[in-house]
């Protein structure tokens, strides 16, 4: 494994190995495995879980880390061939090789622009930087992907003994005051399909996942023996579900149009996950969400703190999943 | 000791042990005591001393740390049962358990809101989070408390051989352009009372410490054999004083009313500590302040850099005091 | 060596030693050399390379570091004797001794104000803080100096076998949308002169380096056997050049006058470094820039990514140069 950018590119065997390794590092700490190694973390967008779990995970393997957060006072350009007369003081074509020259592995976060769907789906920042990094590169959430979250979620489902074949995974859109990126829903549905589950994408009209992303999910399902369907019928979707994974995302039919997006979601206040959503689900059905989550908008506090919720375990598994990625990239390159 | 939230809850025996331990770690470093441990630091308000002293202190014990600073782009909600449609993207009911899942000990800073005195005195953030943290929790300054500062100040007075019984401790209000929280004055006066000193709170009309806080200070004095008085008579207060501890705070009579507060303090320009304040004091009287301090407003540069000033030693003792807290919470749980 | 503030004050012998040490630490890592030591980093201005290279370098020597970044919410005052009623909540006269009390070595960055040339050349912040720091102090870029960059650049030229005696070093002004500090051009030209090179400062009318800075460069050249000239004739400057070091800086003739500066540089769009600048240069001539760099404004992407460019190696050498400084200040005090 040279980089960790996408579960699809890693492939099911490596993903399974990483999940196993994450569990091993959780049970049997290796506090000296990455002694002397340095992890660079570049956040073009803010972070709580990702920063804390990467820094803590690297420390628990004996390594060190540094954090770079461009903010209000400076930005990084990623578009090619543009005279840089604006707010961006530096281009990723310099910044990435420089940071890579200080680090043994580099994590980068770069959210979607949220204006142009085709552009966001093309992963403009990661496309721009992938060839520039002389050390292993980790996707800490890109425009349309979040493989660290997906790996942690896979481990969480394994920990909870959620079935793979015939396991029913419902990714449900949920209400939210703002249009949010597609990275987590795309990564979660793809991961579940790759895990061999029967995936249902439950969402209102106007919020269908883009065909490119659905195609990726279908491909993963075809390879794993899983399946994928889309619906706006909650009852049908939740019937026998083993997992309800909630997440809000932008109205894809009016992507980039803030007013139209607001108008669409104004009528969707019923998409706050409540206890009765689970009425037809498998009795053991769990509730998942990547966090951060807006209480009483995305989901009620009752569900979040109820017996079905696994959101804190998911977040905790971010650390172990990422430790496995770091370990595999730096300590043990595998066969 | 499970948490470190309040000297009163720790009790005088444990506080004395911590002060002794701080001195021991200062003289006899233990650079491997917390090897493999991770300290999480959550700053809901900015910091210089607290961040630097915690990170350096943890490193000097062999441990690691990470810093989370919600800022302009995101905030944490702590009020219960509110639909989260505003600026806060995450609730402490998720954020604290998640951070606790990455850390072996968690420090949190959350200043007073400064609008509603009753609310601030109820410690709304720490009340909300205390039960949520699965690892030891440290108060790095809350709405009405600052036990790390108080512990460091206790050590500073011990280092300076300031008497306990019959030691005269004057907490004086001082001028400042802004209404500031009650955390430090409340913690300093309480600490001095707990240490068995005769505490005088010197402040102008309108700036009396709230009765709840005075009650805590009286209780500590009663238990320790100290005493507490309030006055606006500087000469009387400073008579024979061993310590002048200066700090500005909000006008409690008009708490939350910015204009009324400004009007009140406009006439109080005489409350800048100058050399002649010490005229009736004990010859060895020292000057203390928690920093940051506004020169020529709170105190003159002459006093700050004069022979009575111990402000840099106080700040340095923050590191040793906090190392003792970390050590006790993580390395040596005591009896 | 007690501090690292200026190559001129360090002197040529110590600089040569540091360059040698940087190369040794690059080839032969010493991962335990600074075990238990703590580096404090105070950034009054933002940073990418400096923060990352110092934190990574300190970690690679086994030490720890912390970062303090005053920002929008608070500032540090450095002017003496001013009643602090404004935005600055703390004075460097407290902040520096306090940070020094937590650290074994302290790095400080404080850019030029850009308003008053005489004031900026007097190094107001470093003049204010130098006597306040009880531990070794490192200049991480001041109003008119950047010795860490200069040391890295010296190493880069050594690595590239650029001649010292008779080596031709051209410092060229370049276009930029904003007036920038004089720190890097002053430090680069001074370093090259100190290295014994023939230095040409190539700049348009109105952008001459201030006489105080030129005097420093002449003094260094006189001591080393090098030379210094200024010109606006590019062809003459580049004739036989071994190094083209590009950097933009403020219009010194109208320093602090933003409109006049803009007017002056509006006519200077020809000062974007392009491939044909090297037509009369030595065939092995390299291109250097300290980064960050604005593409297609300061220099074309073609030159930046072409075979002459050494900008990434320069940046990488920041880490090794600073490791040498840290090592010399903390591990090995020399003879």
pLDDT tens-place string over residues C275-328: 999 999 999 999 999 999 999 999 999 999 999 999 999 999 999 999 999 999
The span from the CA of A309 to the CA of B66, in Å, is 27
Nearest to A297 among B73, B83, B94 (CB): B83
CA of C33: which chain A residue's CA is closest? A36
pLDDT tens-place string over residues C179-237: 999 999 999 999 999 999 999 999 999 999 999 999 999 999 999 999 999 999 999 99
Task: State the ipTM, two decimals.
Answer: 0.96
pLDDT tier, C73 (very low <50, low <70, confident <90, very high otherwise): low
Instruction: Considering the domain delimited by A7-146+318-330, tell me its CATH architecture.
Output: 3-Layer(aba) Sandwich (3.40)
Cβ neighbors of C16 (< 8 A, separation 6 or more) are none
Q: What's the whole-number mean pLDDT along residues C25-47?
A: 95
Question: A272: alpha, beta or left, given left = phi > 0 and alpha = psi -120 to 50?
Answer: beta
Partner-chain contact B89 A292, CB within 8 Å: yes
The span from the CA of A109 to the CA of A112, in Å, is 10
Name the residue ranges covered by the structural domains of chain C: 7-146+316-330, 161-309
CB contact, 8 Å: A133 with chain C?
A: no
DSSP element (H, E) containing C245? strand C243-247
pLDDT tens-place string over residues A122-152: 999 999 999 999 999 999 999 999 999 999 9
- The C-alpha angle C223, C227, C230, rounded to 5 degrees, equals 135
Nearest to B275 by CA among B302, B256, B297, B255: B302
Q: What's the whole-number mean pLDDT along residues C43-69?
A: 95
The span from the CA of B32 to the CA of B39, in Å, is 15
Instruction: Considering the domain delimited by C161-309, tell me its CATH architecture.
Output: 3-Layer(aba) Sandwich (3.40)
Partner-chain contact B90 A291, CB within 8 Å: yes
CA of B301: which chain C residue's CA is closest? C81
Partner-chain contact C295 A74, CB within 8 Å: no
Class of domain C7-146+316-330: alpha beta
Nearest to B217 by CA among B184, B190, B187: B190
Pick the CATH number of B7-146+315-330 from 3.40.50.1370, 3.30.830.10, 3.40.50.300, 3.40.50.150: 3.40.50.1370
Question: B130: alpha, beta or left, given left = phi > 0 and alpha = psi -120 to 50?
Answer: alpha
Nearest to C147 by CA among C314, C243, C5, C259: C5
Same fold yes or no, A7-146+318-330 and A161-309: yes
Q: How many residues does chain C have?
A: 335
Partner-chain contact B49 C82, CB within 8 Å: no
pLDDT at A73 over 80: no
The span from the CA of C152 to the CA of A36, in Å, is 22
Only one residue has tokens 């009007």, namely B263
Cβ neighbors of A270 (< 8 A, separation 6 or more) are none
Cβ neighbors of C244 (< 8 A, separation 6 or more) are C170, C172, C238, C273, C277, C278, C281, C285, C286, C287, C288, C308
Nearest to B189 by CA among B168, B166, B207, B161: B168
pLDDT tier, B119 (very low <50, low <70, confident <90, very high otherwise): very high
The span from the CA of A150 to the CA of A168, in Å, is 16
3-class state of residue B127 by DSSP: helix
CB contact, 8 Å: A307 with chain C?
A: no
Question: How many Cα atoms sit within 13 Å of B21 on the Cβ side?
Answer: 23
pLDDT tens-place string over residues C310-325: 999 999 999 999 999 9
pLDDT at B100 over 70: yes
Give the largest Cα separation in chain A, rounded: 59
Query: Which residue out of A25, A55, A149 would a mutagenesis test of the B interface target, given it has the greatest number of B Cβ atoms within 10 Å?
Result: A55
Nearest to C88 by CA among C122, C144, C128, C143: C128
pLDDT tens-place string over residues B202-220: 999 999 999 999 999 999 9
Residue A247's beta-bridge partner residues?
A: A173
Cβ distance C281 to C240 under 8 Å? yes
Residue C334 has a pLDDT of 52
The span from the CA of A155 to the CA of C106, in Å, is 43
The span from the CA of B64 to the CA of B36, in Å, is 7
pLDDT tier, B314 (very low <50, low <70, confident <90, very high otherwise): very high
Cβ distance C31 to A36 under 8 Å? yes
Partner-chain contact B98 A293, CB within 8 Å: no
pTM greater than the 0.90 cutoff: yes
Cβ distance A229 to A272 under 8 Å? no
The span from the CA of C153 to the CA of C160, in Å, is 11
- The conformation of residue C32, written as its DSSP 8-state character, comes to T
Residue bearing the bigger pLDDT, C331 or B276: B276
Cβ distance C193 to C199 under 8 Å? yes
Which B residues in the span 74-113 are in contact with A, Cβ-Cβ below 8 Å? 74, 77, 80-85, 89-91, 93-95, 97-99, 101-103
């Amino acid at each position: 494994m040279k980089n960790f950018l996408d579960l699809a590119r890693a492939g099911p065997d490596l993903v399974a190995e990483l999940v196993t390794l994450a569990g091993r590092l959780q049970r049997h700490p290796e506090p000296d495995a990455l002694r002397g190694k340095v992890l660079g973390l570049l956040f073009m967008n803010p972070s709580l879980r990702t920063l804390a779990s990467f820094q803590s995970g690297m420390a628990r393997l004996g390594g060190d880390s540094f954090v770079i957060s461009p903010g209000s006072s400076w930005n990084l350009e990623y578009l090619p061939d543009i005279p840089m007369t604006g707010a961006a003081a530096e281009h990723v074509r310099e910044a990435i090789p420089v940071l890579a020259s200080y680090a043994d592995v580099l994590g980068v976060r770069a959210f979607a622009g949220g204006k142009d769907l085709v552009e966001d789906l093309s992963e403009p920042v990661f496309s721009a930087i992938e060839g520039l990094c002389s050390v292993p590169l980790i996707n800490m959430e890109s425009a349309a992907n979040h493989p660290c979250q997906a790996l942690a979620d896979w481990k969480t489902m394994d920990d909870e003994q959620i079935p793979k074949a015939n396991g029913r995974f419902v990714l449900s859109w949920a209400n939210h005051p703002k249009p949010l990126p597609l990275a987590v829903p795309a990564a979660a549905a793809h991961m579940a399909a790759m895990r061999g589950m029967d995936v249902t994408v439950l969402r209102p009209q106007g919020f269908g996942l883009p065909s490119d992303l659905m195609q990726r999910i279908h491909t993963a399902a075809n390879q794993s023996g899983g399946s994928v369907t889309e619906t706006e019928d909650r009852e049908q979707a939740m019937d026998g579900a083993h997992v309800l994974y909630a997440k809000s995302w932008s109205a894809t039919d009016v992507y980039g149009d803030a007013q139209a997006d607001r108008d669409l979601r104004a009528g969707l206040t019923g998409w706050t996950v409540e206890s009765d959503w689970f009425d037809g689900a498998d009795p053991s059905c769990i509730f998942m969400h990547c966090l951060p989550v807006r209480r009483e908008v995305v989901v009620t506090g009752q569900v979040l703190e109820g017996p079905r919720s696994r959101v804190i375990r998911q977040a905790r598994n971010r650390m172990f999943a990422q430790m496995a990625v770091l370990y595999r990239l730096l300590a043990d390159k595998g066969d």
